[in-house]
Amino acid sequence: MSERLKYIVQELNKPPFSKNLNLISFDGLDPTQRLQILNDVFADIEPKNKIDIRQEAADQTAVRMFAMLRALKYKPETDVNAFRQGLVQGDKSVVYAIIYWCLQSMPELKKRAYLAKYLVKLDITPEVQQDDEIHAMMQQYEEMMEEFKSVHKDHNAFETSGFSTADIKKDIENMEEEKEQLGKRVERIKKKTENMQGKEPMLVVAKMLRTEKERQQELVTQTQEQQSALALAEQRIQRIRQQLKEMRAAGIKTTPEDLMQQLEEETKTNDYLVREKYPKEIASQQTICKDLQKVASIPAMGQSDLDDLNNSIKSVNASINQLIEKKMLLTNDPEEKTALFRQQAAMVSRKKETAADTLEKARHELSQIDAEVEEKKLTLKDLDMGDVLRGEEFKRYVAKLRVMNNDYKKKRAEISEIRAEVGILTRSEEILKEQEEEILKDLVSSIYIGSRQWDYKMLVSSSPVNLHSIIGNLISCPGHSWAPLILCGVRASQTYIVVALS
């Protein structure tokens, strides 16, 4: 702790704080002065905190400091409730820990506070976001936030790229040289055009040309802005058309009596929320705020004060129990039936409150789901994937997919059967070819008997004329003997003969 105090005093005595403190004087500061020093540290990180806290309400100071710590992502060392109470009261341990944490990483915290101004999203309730214009503005706000992130990232990359000042100076010198050359060139052109006839009209025309080019650039910018506005308007029209379509679809099978009944139920529910539930919640929150203000205004209590409070609580509880017992003895009437009705009324009231809470949660979830659906619709529209199918269209699409799936399974089964049959036929063909070969060998060996080794050759052709030429070539081939025709026929639209060779 002493090392931490020494570090804090050393840093506070340096610019820009220059507090001129020592350990004794710093430790002897009152809570308001400690909070003022903490506020000065916050002001160095974020200049908007440069305020004299004596001219500011205590609750506003606490809210501002809590918001600053939240933006800086500070994690307290103690319990959250104890930390909040300690910060409000200016407790030494809490304030010293925050100052020490801030002084250790001032550059990083300054950068974090700068980014928090542009990257912390606005807290807008889902009910307000349902408005089309606000929804469009929130989308534009998020797009600008993403653009800021990318620009800041490029800026950091440029800072860490190692671009030296020498290169910048060299570029400046080059630009100065170019400037001198351009000046000389302008002087030469002026000298050439001094005695030129019609110089003034040409200058006027050149000026008009430059003006028209600038105007053209402005028109291009305006065109882009109008196109963006047109795209937003088309998106809004698409959302309104979709809402109208949904409302018409919901009202197809609805009678006026059903609509009146729905409106009456909704009116009763809203009336209960406005007249009973919300006033109770507001009153309870106001009571909590008053209690917190009392706690904040009470100075720090010691152990003896806590013991006195505990003793008073025990005595009050004991007196309450005694009064309850007396009341039970006085009202112990067997014929009294109001207690049962009170109990039933209390049960109904609790059920009513539970139903109202459930309804409010359901509405909140519904608004969130609607917002997500709108985002998905915009995403699908950007991807050019068409409209989302709903209701009967989706059912027809599912039925069509089922029919196509059944057809696919049938075709796939037929293909499998055909492949199996092709395999069987191929194998049968191979077996028949082998049997044919064996039969031909046996036939040749049975007809030509002798001491010579005989073999056979099958000659196949699409026409008998070609077979004659093939046999002639075979007869004239030296080194072979041949036997007469032993077999001929037609197979697969082709004519074949078998001759014996040795």
Q: What are phi and psi of 125, to 5 degrees?
A: -65, 150
Predicted pLDDT at 73: 85
Alpha helices in 273-302, H assignment, sequence order: 278-297
Taking alpha carbons only, the member of 56, 55, 50, 61 closest to residue 89 is: 61
Strand ranges (E), 419-493: 455-461, 487-491
Cis peptide before 16 (omega within 30 of 0): yes
Q: What are phi and psi of 459, to 5 degrees?
A: -110, 125
Structure tokens given for 253: 């099978």
Predicted pLDDT at 489: 47
Predicted pLDDT at 230: 92
Amino acid at 69: L
Predicted pLDDT at 238: 87
- Going 283 to 285 to 288 to 290, the CA torsion angle's sign is negative
Strand ranges (E), 31-172: none
- Give the pLDDT of the chain (502 residues) as one tens digit per residue: 678 888 888 888 888 888 888 888 888 888 889 899 999 999 998 888 888 888 888 888 888 888 888 888 888 887 888 888 888 888 888 888 898 899 988 888 888 888 888 887 777 777 777 788 888 888 888 888 888 888 888 877 777 766 667 778 888 888 999 999 999 888 888 888 777 777 788 888 888 999 999 999 999 999 999 998 998 899 889 888 888 887 777 766 677 787 788 888 888 888 888 888 888 888 888 888 888 887 777 666 667 777 888 888 988 988 888 888 777 666 555 445 566 677 777 788 788 888 888 888 888 888 888 888 877 777 776 665 555 566 677 788 888 889 999 999 999 999 999 999 999 999 999 999 888 888 877 776 665 444 444 455 555 444 554 545 555 555 555 544 444 444 444 444 455 555 555 4
Please say whether the beta carbons of 89 and 292 come within 8 A: no
Give CA–CA dist 158/379, Å, rounded: 33
Predicted pLDDT at 418: 93
In degrees, rounded to 5, the angle at the alpha carbon of residue 249 between the alpha carbons of residues 248 and 253 is 100
Structure tokens given for 337: 């039936």
Q: How many CB atoms lie within 10 A of CB 259?
A: 11
